[in-house]
Structure 1
Amino acid sequence: MDTSQHSLGTLFEQLGLPSGQGDIERFIARYAPLPSDIALQDAPFWSASQSHFLEEGLEEDSDWAEVIDELDALLRH
Structure 2
Amino acid sequence: MDPMVHDMPALFAQLGLANDAASLSRFIDNHSLRDGLELSDAPFWNAAQASFLRESWRDDAVWSAAIDQLDVLLRQ
Report the TM range for the smaller structure's normalisation.
Answer: over 0.9
Structure 1 stretches of at least 4 aligned residues deviating more than 2 Å after TM superposition? 1-5
Letter in 2 for 1:10: A
Q: TM-score, with normalisation over the residues of structure 1?
A: 0.93
Match of 2:13 in 1: 13
Letter in 1 for 2:66: V
Letter in 2 for 1:63: V
Unmatched tracts of structure 1, length 5 or more:
none
Deviation at 1:3, TM superposition (A): 4.6
Match of 1:72 in 2: 71
Q: Is 1:42 paired with 2:46?
A: no
Total equivalences in the alignment: 76
Task: Using the aligned pairs only, state the percent identity.
Answer: 43
CA RMSD of aligned residues (A): 1.2
Q: TM-score, with normalisation over the residues of structure 2?
A: 0.94
